[in-house]
Amino acid sequence: MASATDKQLNILEQEQSDRAALLARRPKVQLYIGSVPLSNGPFNVLHLPTFPVREQTDTLITFDSNLVNAGNASATRAQLRVVVFATDVSFSSNANFIRPNEPADNPVRTSVVNIDLIWPHVNMPMTLSFSFPKGRAPFQVLFNVDADEIETATPLGSLTIHAPQASKLEHRRSFLSFWHHPFRHLFRKRNQFRHEQDSSAIRLRRLVHSLDIKHARR
């Protein structure tokens, strides 16, 4: 009788242990830009992380990213949110995403990537592209995630994106492009007139010099 009771207790203890181990398993989603993990900090202000850029122009920047489940359980019905703190910046990706309805005066623009399942230790590559006006001031992008097993809007980290500023060479090109202006012929005529004045002065000096020579011979 005691032996049967001990067996039942052992079975109950094992079930409780298995249930506790199952509950302890959790997904842990991280976002990488290239091979650099995005983090919430704290950062060393003297050595801030730098992230590799796939493509960059005056109005576009693209990153290669990886969404990684570093936990020991799957994340089901996950949502990756990309929150851009700018109204004149557009987000795009090779992953399917949606734009939720937001108030017109909302200072941020949110995009959501829906993912049915992220297995443990699985990488999900995707591109992150941001389009902006030329010469735009730096802007911030926040990333967060949630799933059935992850709290809503769990932060993954942020990026501060610096749009390229006009270089000295571009300023010079802008100056040179002025010569294609419709009034450029006025400046050419002015230069031509100055050249003719210089030529006339040279001929006059030559004439005076020759007269001086003739007068000296006499």
H or E element that contains 143? strand 139-147
Judgement on whether residues 35 and 106 belong to the same structural domain of the protein? yes
User: Distance between CA 162 and CA 132 in Å, rounded?
Assistant: 10
User: Given this model, what pLDDT does residue 213 score?
Assistant: 52
Same domain, 122 and 197: no
Q: pLDDT digit string (tens) for 160-182?
A: 999 887 654 454 454 445 444 55
pLDDT grade, residue 62 (50/70/90)?
Answer: very high
pLDDT at 30 over 60: yes
4 assigned to some structural domain:
no
Q: Is residue 13 part of a domain?
A: no
Residue 21 pLDDT grade (very low, low, confident, very high; cuts 50, 70, 90): low
Instruction: Give residue 119's domain range.
Output: 27-164
Mark whether 119 and 183 lie in a shared domain.
no
Considering the domain architecture, whether residues 96 and 198 belong to the same structural domain is answered as no
Overall average pLDDT of the 53-76 stretch: 96
Is there a cis peptide before residue 100, judged by omega within 30 degrees of 0?
no
Residues 116 and 202 grouped into a single domain: no
- If asked whether residues 144 and 74 sit together in one domain, one would say yes
Comparing 85 with 104, which gets the higher pLDDT?
A: 85
Question: Which has the closest alpha carbon to 148: 66, 202, 76, 67?
Answer: 76
| Residues 152 and 56 occupy one common structural domain | yes
DSSP for residue 51: -
Domain boundary among 121, 142, 164: 164
- pLDDT at residue 110, as a whole number: 97
Q: What percent of the chain has pLDDT over 70?
A: 61
Q: Give every strand in the sheet of 150-161, ordered side by side.
A: 109-118, 75-84, 139-147, 150-161
Position 119 in a domain: yes
Residue 207 has pLDDT above 70, yes or no: no
Q: Are residues 154 and 87 in the same domain?
A: yes
Least Cα distance to 94 among 58, 126, 124 occurs for 126
Q: Does 4 score more than 50 pLDDT? A: yes
- The model's pLDDT over 208-218, given as tens digits with 9 standing for 90+, comes to 556 555 555 55
CATH of the domain at 41: 2.60.40.1510
Q: What is the mean pLDDT of residues 52-75?
A: 95
Q: What is the pLDDT of residues 133-157, one digit of tens each?
A: 999 999 999 999 999 999 999 999 9
pTM above 0.95, yes or no: no
Same domain, 176 and 145: no
Same domain, 122 and 47: yes
Do 146 and 194 sit in the same domain of this protein?
A: no
The tokens describing 150, both together, are 């992850």
- 95 and 78 part of one domain: yes
